[in-house]
Amino acid sequence: MPSLDFDGDYGRSYRKSIQDSIPGHDVLHEIARAAIRSTSSDAQQVLVVGPGPGDELPELLNACGDAALTVLEPSELMLEQCRKTVADHPGSGRCRLHLSTLNEALNDELKGARFDLVVCHNVLHLLPNAEQNAMLRELTQCTADGGVLLLSAYSEAENSESQREVFQVAWQRLIDRGVPDDRLEKIRDSRNKVVFSLDASRLAVALEQAGWRAPLQLYQGLFIRLWLCRAEGQAEAASAET
């Protein structure tokens, strides 16, 4: 199965190309930061899964001023960029960078670890459905009780007519941005081969299986969504309200 080459040309041009392929990438991260500040600024242990070049890390260190950050990134090139991104930050000493996938780390150095905040932006859609489900289980298992999981992913509308219309607008947006024809074709061809929808209903089922409340969708830019998920069950939530 083809995959994006984060250690090659795709990785080298990531910061520019992601602005095309993820509509509202900056806005998504701006809202994610606000969600972190409003829910988890007192977090002590934070896990970041797949930060790419790490542009989200300096603000995360600012937002969670007492936290130790554990960062998992399987691409050497991306991890090296993360290192550079945090190098001059006064909190860089609170940041531990690991060359690893989530699955590898949870079976090794992070076995049994629990985090107050887990952040995973735009990683799950790189995996086919069965692997997405496995990663969702791992993400919920490593979030501490009462903690927060912040997730974003490519996520299609479940009604095919709506999705068709979203695609037409998304396509026009790429043309308006001047994306060349060969890249347009690559993006069109990546669906269900390189990029896989994380459907909102499947996320809800995964959280329900973990005993969590339904996810709260904070943002949607065409087919990209951001969710806030709380590691807290329906029963606990109901008793807190009374």
**115-121 β-sheet, strand order:** 95-98, 68-72, 45-49, 115-121, 143-154, 224-230, 216-221
For ligand SAM, the closer CB: 75 or 140: 75
List the one residue from 23, 74, 147, 215 that touches ligand SAM (CB under 6 A). Answer: 74
Chain centre distance of CA 63: 17
Binding flag, residue 75, ligand SAM (CB under 6 A)? yes
Tell me whether residue 67 or residue 120 sits nearer to ligand SAM (CB atom).
120
Site for ligand SAM in 192-211 (CB under 6 A): none
Nearer to ligand SAM, 75 or 155 (CB): 75
C-beta of 156: minimal distance to ligand SAM in Å? 17
Nearest distance, CB of residue 201 and ligand SAM, angstroms: 22
The answer to whether the beta carbons of residues 154 and 125 sit under 8 Å apart is yes
Contact residue for ligand SAM among 31, 78, 153, 198 (CB under 6 A): 78
Does residue 156 touch ligand SAM according to CB under 6 A?
no
Interhelix angle 14-21/181-190, nearest 10 degrees: 70
Q: Which residues pair with 152 in a beta bridge?
A: 121, 226
Binding mask 96-125 for ligand SAM (x = CB under 6 A): -----xx------------------xxx--
Rounded to an integer, what distance in angstroms lies between the CA atom of residue 21 and that of residue 197? Answer: 14
Contact present, 65 and 87 (Cβ < 8 Å):
no
Residue 152 structure tokens: 């974003």
* Ramachandran angles phi, psi of 102, nearest 5°: -65, -45
- Which burial class, exposed, middle or buried, applies to 58 when counting CB atoms under 10 A from its CB (0-12, 13-18, 19+)? middle
Q: How near is the Cβ of 217 to ligand SAM at its closest, in Å?
A: 17
Question: Which span (37-45, 58-66, 67-75, 166-174) binds ligand SAM, by CB under 6 A?
Answer: 67-75
Residue 144 Cβ vs ligand SAM, minimum distance, rounded to whole Å? 19
Interaction mask 5-24, ligand SAM, x per CB under 6 A: -x-----------x------
Q: Which residues between 34 and 53 bind ligand SAM (CB under 6 A)?
A: 49-52
> In which region does residue 90 sit, left (phi positive, over 0), alpha (psi from -120 to 50) or beta (all else)?
alpha
Using N-to-C axis directions, what is the helix angle for 200-209 and 129-141, rounded to 10°? 40
Residue 72 touches ligand SAM, criterion: CB under 6 A? yes
Point out which residues bind ligand SAM (CB under 6 A).
6, 18, 49-52, 72-75, 78, 101-102, 121-123, 126
